[in-house]
Amino acid sequence: MNGKFPKIPLFIIATILFGLKTYIIYRFLFHIELENAMQELILAINPFVSAFLIFAISVWLKKPTSQMKFLRYTALIGSVILYFNLVFYRSFTDFITIPQLFQASNMGDLGSSIFSLLEVYDVLLFADVAIIWYLSRKKSDVLSVSYPKSGRVFALAMSLMLLAGNFFLAEMERPQLFTRAFDREYLVKNIGIFNYHIYDLALHSKVKSQKVFADGNELPEIKEYVNEHVQSDESSPLHGIAKGKNLIFISAESMQSFVINNKMKGQVITPFLNSLTKDDSTFYFKNFYHQTQQGKTSDSEFLLENSLYPLSRGAVFFTHGQNEYHALPEMLNQKGYYTSVFHSNNKSFWNRDQMYDSLGYDHFYGEKAFEVTDQNSIGWGLEDKAFFEQSMKYLRSQKQPFYTKFITLTNHFPFELNKDKASIGEFDSNSKTLNNYFQTVRYTDEALRQFFNQLKESGLYKDSIIVIMGDHYGISENHNKAMAKYLGKDQISPYDHVQLQRVPLFIHIPGYDKGKVMSEVSGQIDLKPTLLHMLGVSTKNDIYFGNDLFVDDRKDYIAFRNGDFVSDQYVSTDGICYLRKSGEPVKQKENQDDANKSENPCEPITQKVEKELGYSDDLIYGDLFRFVNFSTGKNSSNTKIK
């Protein structure tokens, strides 16, 4: 070696630096649950496997300058992908999917929400990129840039062997990892974020082709399942109770049930909503769950309007906004209702302008319908009190009967509110998000009280039914430590996390005196048939997966998009079956004969949930409603859909 050290391949240095950085992000910045030593091993291996696979491509580039440039820009692009996932994860405890990249038009509206997710130390996450750039430009004389053919082939073979080994261990740890891919955390934990993105791209290409090859022959099987396992023939005791009345629906942004009838530091959080739980004209559902996924508020709208499940990846509002639907607004239009949405945001956010046309809405009152100033707006836009107040002039002028949906904004992450408008103090925890949350929830509660009074003054109140629903969670898993402190727990268990997915649902019927607190398990998917039946509209030929909330003969579970569920008896999450009322894991008795071991009591419902989610996906991906004539219940080939 003539007294000199051997030259070091830069792609090896890049692999070590980038792999180490990725592992640190996985282990300490993503809140990935590790249950055993095998999962620890796989998580430690896959960052380096992915890095080696990508950076080893450089050895096939003949020019040294091309090799160096490839390594520099690959490290930069890879770091940007990692960082975008990290910022997204801080908000949603989830990973970016290909469909969400098509939602980039939303980014300009996020404003302070994004900046609140950035940390000063984030700049250190690009340190490896700086080192690689420095070495490739200033120390190229000590780096190896020439590789014999055997060396290049060895690097390729080693890449494939490492990848195969990673996948083998992943399949051992999580059988059917790729066929039961509801949980993106499992994919990232087992194969790494970059392989996950490649898999997600392949999956996206597959589902995009489903519409092309769909012909409607899938419908009879879906309808047969729905008739047998989902929809009830039993007539609702409240069928037609609101016939001819206006339907006013309020989507309460990020409102979770843990604030209802509760206090924070001795202060009542939601006095008005608390009063509704005791109102004889109100049905309050205390075990009502949101079922949204990546589409959040838009997913809750989709569930409400269609009684179909949202997609596991992206938002239906974006990915399938041009589909044919048989939605709540369209069905009410056919009964003479005027339909509208009030939301003080721009029409392109969540692709609402296109999707609302597909759902059958007559009019969307977006941000241009409101006077938004510095004094009456904060965070995401117009404050709720001003929003309802300015909406009244339009509401009074609408043709009756009408179905109108209001989407509030103030109680939105990062839950900012001017101190002079806060009527309750902050919580004291390590989470600024949770600390602020109680103030914005109270503000929305006050805005709702004001709106009820305005409805009474306008004369619309007595001729309307009013529904208030929390659209999705506001406090994510990233704030579990603070939530545990508020709830007086040592920690938030998986079972506790599921219970925190409860959101309030109020159905207020002025003049009705038989309201009560409803304890049955229910979810957002149940609203469409419930509201239609209350308005006296038949759903005989419809296809949906919810149940009328007032019917006794209904399925005994609600499903989450990731395959978890809550039933009358059980809660299934993270692969664990819990008793719903006690929160204790179900202890399975094992017989001496292994073949006769008692079955996991959650498994039969899990199978139904997976089938139901799959059928709902088929309807959306295949755009199957285009083949249905809902007035006759026949498909395009004139075959009765039984």
- Name the strand (E) or helix (H) holding 42: helix 37-55
Residue 297 a catalytic site member: yes
Cis amide leading into 494 (omega within 30)? no
Please confirm whether the linkage preceding 401 is cis (ω < 30° from 0). Answer: yes
- 642 contacts 223 by C-beta, under 8 angstroms: yes
Tell how strand 8-9 and strand 377-378 pair up. unpaired
Q: What are phi and psi of 133, to 5 degrees?
A: -65, -40
Is the Cβ–Cβ distance between 484 and 490 less than 8 Å? yes
Q: Looking at 471-532, which runs of residues are DSSP E strands?
A: 505-508, 517-518, 522-523
Alpha carbon distance 100, 97 (integer Å): 5
Q: Which residues of 467-480 are buried (b: 16+ CB within 10 A; e: fewer)?
A: bbbbbbbbbbbbbb
Segments in 289-431 forming alpha helices (H): 297-306, 316-319, 328-333, 352-359, 384-397
Whole-number Å distance between alpha carbons of 455 and 458: 5
Q: Quick one: which of 412, 417, 411 has its CA closest to 441?
A: 411
In this structure, what is the dihedral angle of CA atoms 366, 369, 375, 377, given to the nearest 10 degrees? -10
Q: What CA–CA distance (Å, rounded) separates 620 from 614?
A: 10
Q: How far apart are CA 213 and CA 221, in angstroms?
A: 17
Amino acid, res. 46: N
From the candidates 22, 282, 297, 410, which is the catalytic residue?
Answer: 297
At residue 10, the 3 state secondary structure works out as: helix
Largest CA distance in the chain: 97
Half-sphere exposure of 354 (CA within 13 A, CB side): 13
How far apart are alpha carbons 499 and 255 in whole angstroms?
14
**Residue 21 is encoded by which pair of tokens?**
């950085």
Contact 461, 246 (CB under 8 A): no
In Å, what is the CA distance from 86 to each residue of 79, 89, 118?
A: 10, 5, 10
Burial 303-329 (b: 16+ CB within 10 A, else e): bbbbbbbbbbbbbbbbbbbebebbbbb
| DSSP single-letter state for residue 370 | S
- Taking each continuous run of H as one helix and of E as one strand, the counts in the chain are 21, 22
Distance CA 403, CA 334 (A): 12
Which ranges of 459-514 would DSSP assign to H, the alpha helix? 480-487, 494-499
Residue 640 gets which letter from DSSP? Answer: B
**134: helix, strand or coil:** helix
Q: Three-state SS for 558? A: strand
Instruction: Let me know: does 411 contact 255? Beta carbons within 8 Å.
Output: yes
Active site residues: 297
